[in-house]
Amino acid sequence: MIVLIGFMGAGKTTVGHLLAERLGLPFMDTDLVIEQRTRRSVRDIFGTDGEPAFRDLEHTVTAELLAGPDAVLALGGGAVQHPATRQALHGHHVIYLEVGYAESMLRVGQDAYRPLLRDPGLEGIFRRRLASYQVVATQTVPTGGRCPEAICLDILARLGRTPAERP
Ligand code: S3P
């Protein structure tokens, strides 16, 4: 399994689609699977049931997808907060798409469907998560100022699937 992790706005979904296409693998996104299964939006689950309930659901779905057929899998930005999810990532290619806080905020804008964007402590959450991303990552890929196609080529090269990206 090739798993993409990183903060909101890191490009997990965009890069994941490109990568899956290049590799001829299905693309899956845990947020989307959660929304399809529950027939509710992430925003509604956060708002009605609370973040801990969302995290448990996110862990269940992530563990199940990780145990399933090979794919490119994008995790939600907070999935690595769950210790059992970090554990479940062992043995997979875990690609950490690294983004700075300011750039991440520029990329996501005022997305009403990302409930954490309204959290006044968001920058602190960002900082606290950095160690968790690093600890589970098998590759750390910088994304600042790079287009999704270049990031995708970089990942393919790191996975030994294509020649190295030209400057
Ligand atoms: C979250 C990130 C979102 C989504 C939810 C919580 C987070 O996914 O799972 O809003 O805690 O960072 P993206 O990283 O795909 O935006």
**pLDDT values of the chain reduced to their tens digit, one per residue, 167 residues:** 999 999 999 999 999 999 999 999 999 999 999 999 999 999 999 999 999 999 999 999 999 999 999 999 999 999 999 999 999 999 999 999 999 999 999 999 888 889 899 899 999 999 999 999 999 999 999 999 999 999 999 999 999 987 544 44
In whole angstroms, what is the distance from residue 114 CA to residue 8 CA? 9
- Closest atom of ligand 1 relative to the 111 alpha carbon: 16
- Closest atom of ligand 1 relative to the 81 alpha carbon: 11
In this structure, which residue's CA is closest to atom 8 in ligand 1? 76
156 close to 22: Cβ distance less than 8 angstroms:
yes
In terms of Cα–Cα distance, which of 70, 68, 72, 92 is closest to 12?
A: 72
CA distances from 2 to 43, 106, 147 (A): 26, 26, 20
**56 C-alpha to center of ligand 1: Å?**
14
**3 C-alpha to center of ligand 1: Å?**
15
pTM of the model: 0.94
- Closest atom of ligand 1 relative to the 12 alpha carbon: 15
In this structure, which residue's CA is closest to atom 3 in ligand 1? 76
**Ligand 1 site, CB within 6 A:** 8, 12, 31, 42, 76-78, 114-116
Residue 166 has a pLDDT of 46
**166 C-alpha to center of ligand 1: Å?**
32
In this structure, which residue's CA is closest to atom 11 in ligand 1? 78
At 5, is the secondary structure helix, strand, or coil? strand
Residue 165 has a pLDDT of 46
**77 C-alpha to center of ligand 1: Å?**
4
